[in-house]
Amino acid sequence: MADVYPWQQALWARISSRRQHAHAYLLHGPRGIGKRDLAERLAALLLCQAPQGDAACGQCKACLLLRAGTHPDYCVIQPEEAEKPIRVDQIRGLVDFVSQTAQLGGRKLILLEPVEAMNLNAANALLKSLEEPSGATVLLLVSHQPSRLLPTVRSRCVQQACPVPSRAESLAWLGERLPDLEEEIRIQLLVLAGGSPLAALRLHGEDVLARRALVVEGVKRLLKRQAAPSQLAESWNAVPLPLLLDWFCEWTHGVLRQQWGGADAEAAPDMAKVLGYLAEKSVPHEVLALQEWLHAERQKVLGKANLNRVLLLESLLIRWAGLVPGR
């Protein structure tokens, strides 16, 4: 099992030293700070038959079964497809799991992530297990957006905010894992990841900087009338659609910030001149309208709507270029 992240060490020391544990924990915080890893580490410790200090031994029957993914008293509930909801049938299966006797004679552990992915019926079905825990059952609920949870779910858990790493901690951690990258590149990755070091590492594996450079260059060519929307839409096939929409949401927000109060060059240094130009030339209410359209289309994409990718991008680029009068 991976070491505890540096920014989690104090929290881990407190949690792992407890003699008695709550029947349900709500581990919450932004994406990409290691909440899932913390939950899995705690699950391993609570299931271990011979824990060594603050860690699972890794050698007992429970640890070996957990490592093999066959532990009979460990249940993971998550969306069956990315960005899809957790269905009520999945939670009903969890309720059946809770009612059973632990096969290894110890605790039963349930890890549910992300909790806010439950639809309303699923959330209501979960309440029974939270209200009437069975035996030595511990539920570890992981949430990126706890405000989206039913108050009745939150109130039945011990709520634990997970530490957010500082910029220095994040860069130091990235430096250990990507020692061959220049620090400037690691900083760019961290900015693109919204300050999340784990997301930055994942983005590096997806060659996101090269993809971003391709898109940024395309946007500049669009505004100079050197490229048509249809041409750019076709050339961005390798860039995931959610990522593209995230970037355009970020840039639209950057234009509005400059129009309403000032720039933050560090947020998008590769687009600073473009955003400044659009902030000067565009009308705020049109930028707002584009931002609302972007958010609506992004929700459709995340909801797996059957959209024509090229047509969607062409529409986006036409709207983006249309922010400049006379185009």
For the beta carbon of residue 84, count every other beta carbon within 10 angstroms: 13
| Residue 191 phi, psi dihedral angles, 5° rounding | -65, -45
- Residue 99 confidence (pLDDT) above 90: no
What is each CA distance from 128 to 3, 95, 117, 131, 168, in whole angstroms?
35, 8, 18, 5, 43
Cα angle 299, 143, 116; round to 5: 45
Cα distance between residue 180 and residue 120, in whole Å: 47
Phi/psi of residue 150, each to 5°?
-60, 140
pLDDT over 90 at 131, yes or no = no
Is residue 52's pLDDT more than 70? yes
pLDDT for residue 19: 87
User: Three-state DSSP class for 159?
Assistant: strand
Q: Where are the domains of the chain?
A: 6-161, 165-205, 207-321
Q: Which pLDDT belongs to residue 96?
A: 83
Residue pair 65/44 in contact by the 8 Å Cβ criterion: no
- Average pLDDT, whole number, for the chain? 90
User: How sure is the predictor about 305, in pLDDT bands with cuts at 50, 70 and 90?
Assistant: confident
Of the candidate CATH numbers 3.40.190.10, 3.40.50.2300, 1.20.272.10, 1.20.1250.20, the domain formed by 207-321 belongs to 1.20.272.10
Q: Which two tokens stand for residue 21?
A: 């544990």
CA dihedral 116, 248, 309, 242 (to 10 degrees): -30
118 touches 86 (CB < 8 A): yes
Cα 285 to Cα 291: distance, rounded to the nearest angstrom: 10
Residues with Cβ within 8 Å of residue 181, at least 6 apart in sequence: 174, 189, 204
Share of the chain above pLDDT 70, in %: 95
Is a pLDDT exceeding 80 seen at residue 135? no
Query: Selecting from 1.10.8, 1.25.40, 3.30.450, 2.70.70, what CATH number does the domain 165-205 have?
Result: 1.10.8
Q: What is the DSSP letter of 109?
A: E
One fold for 6-161 and 165-205: no
Answer whether 0.85 is exceeded by the pTM: no
Write the CATH number of the domain with boundaries 6-161: 3.40.50.300
Query: Could you report the per-residue pLDDT of 226-282, keeping only the tens digit for each?
Result: 999 999 999 998 888 888 999 999 999 999 999 887 665 556 788 989 999 999 999
Burial of 40 (0-12, 13-18, 19+ CB in 10 A): buried
Amino acid, res. 124: N
